[in-house]
Structure 1
Amino acid sequence: MTKIRALVWGENVHERTNEVVAGIYPDGMHACIAEALNASDRISAGTATLQEDEHGLTVERLAETDVLLWWGHCAHGEVSDEIVERVATAVHGGMGLIALHSAHFSKIFKRLMGTPCNLKWREAGERERLWVTAPRHPIVRGLPDHFELASEEMYGEPFGIPEPLETVLIGWFQGGEVFRSGVTYRRGVGNVFYFQPGHETYPTYHDENVRQVLRNAVEWAHNPAARIADPDAAPNVPVEEAPEKIEARGPRLHGEGEAGYR
């Protein structure tokens, strides 16, 4: 069986500068997420970070990636615009993208959404209850109808995103706010999922339900078809059939003969 090739991209800043974060994720959040994905026999996950050459997202690396997971927070502005466009092109061509937590404000997510992607937030270690709103969706396969995280950063509506293709999870917070915590999109032929939990000072990515969502999401986001090499280029293909051939057919009513005009 050919495994889905996932790549977990991490900013890798908090882990090196904050003792609390380093204590929870001694090898980095990206490594913890990759570990969760590699627990599946259908996924092979590697990692890349902001500090690597080309942020670890070379043309060759992206060509070998079926699904890219992105975690960022305090260094969105340090991501090269050239790399953002490279990733966007890969998504348009069929690579899946999973944006995690503060990646709602990343350059790549905002580029693909075309909106500010702003929201309300409060960091107070509040309990979050995540409700499954689409119980038959593959992203929530194997989950109960809801699960709880003892501590999470509150993200609240309004959330400045386009209307999602699907809303599969809604989060409720101890302060009373609600949030669209799991939403899907399609950009070009690439599948995109945004998943809200994952603040760096809480052990969210050690939670088994969260890890199950991540594994499910990778499988959902995977497009097995061959990548479109240049999805942003106009086809500029001439029409082969001459106008006289079209006229020779004569008019047809819709539903007549070959189901109308062809």
Structure 2
Amino acid sequence: MKVVVWNEYRHEKTNPIVADVYPDGIHQAIASFLKCETRDVTTATLDEEEHGLPDHVLFATDVLIWWGHKAHDEVSDEIVEKVYERVLNGMGLIVLHSGHFSKVFKKLMGTSCDLKWRVADEKERLWVLDPSHPITQGIGEYIELEKEEMYGEHFDIPAPDELLFMSWFEGGEVFRSGCTYRRGNGKIFYFRPGHETYPTYHHPDIQQVISNAVEWVKPVERARPVYGNAQALETISGEK
């Protein structure tokens, strides 16, 4: 399975706190725990040519993981359209944290994807709402993060196909933090935790969820349905 971890890779170059937490970048931190015998895991970043997603890479990708924050507008519409079409044709997509505001996620959702937020070093508890789902396999009743950025409702997204995690924050807010969607032949998982100044992606339970999600969103090998005017399969009585 070909997995590509995409990251803006901007905060790590300008913010010493982020650089200390993720010295090789968030993308490399995620790629490092996903690598195994059954996965070919590579990375791509915003400032690479074609954002690291030229056709020969994108069209070979089974699962794309997306982390973005401060430079959503710098992602070219051409690349967004290609990623969008790849999802419709079966590529799995995992959108992390502030990727909720990425062009491609908003295009797939058809809404503003806006929310409330606050950075105050507060505790987050992610409650598992569906213990039977493959993405929550190996996770207890909840995941507790000592410090995280708060995201609060209302989260302007379509109703998820499945809601897997609900977050509670020390300041009192709650948030739909693990949402699945199906678009065309593709599957999408949005997972909330991952503010750049906190070591969230070093947490074993967060790593487990993302690893599980890679297996869940991976493509099913089948052709995309044919749309448009269709010839009858049977003889239609009375047809002239």
Asked if Structure 1 and Structure 2 have the same fold, meaning a TM-score greater than 0.5 normalized by the shorter chain, the answer is yes
Percent identity of equivalent pairs = 56
Partner of 2:71: 75
Equivalents in 2 of 1:78, 1:210: separation in Å?
Answer: 28
Aligned match of 1:260: none
Equivalent in the alignment of 2:134: 138
1:56-205 alignment to 2 at 5 Å? 56-205=52-201
Moved over 4 A (4+): none
Deviation at 1:62, TM superposition (A): 1.0
Question: Given residue 231 of structure 2, which amino acid in structure 1 is its aligned partner?
Answer: V
1:13 aligns with 2:14: no
Which structure 1 segments of 5+ residues have no match?
249-262
Note the alpha carbon deviations across 1:214-249, whole angstroms, 9 max, x for none. 000000000131564xx8xx744541558xx3217x
Q: Which has the larger radius of gyration?
A: 1
SS in 1 for 2:236: helix
Letter in 2 for 1:29: I
Aligned to 1:247: 237
Q: CA deviation at 1:185?
A: 0.2
Distance 2:8 2:230 in 1: 45
The question of 1:206 aligning with 2:202 is answered yes
The CA distance in 2 between the partners of 1:14 and 1:97, in whole Å, is 22
CA distance in 2, matches of 1:71, 1:148: 21
Structure 1 length normalisation: TM-score? Answer: 0.87
2:155 is paired with a residue whose SS is coil
Change (3 A) 1:145 1:240: same
Cα deviation, 1:182-227, whole Å, max 9, x if unaligned, reads 0000011100000000000000000000000000000000013156
Are the equivalent residues in 2 in contact too, given 1:154–1:173 (CA < 8 A)? yes
Q: 5+ unaligned residues in a row in structure 2: which ranges?
A: none
Match of 1:52 among 48, 53, 78: 48
Distance 1:201 1:241, change over 3 A: closer
- Matches of 1:183 and 1:74, distance apart in 2: 23
Match of 2:213?
A: 217
* 1:16-48: CA deviation from partner (whole Å, max 9, x where unpaired): 11100000100000000001111x443321100
Aligned residues: 239
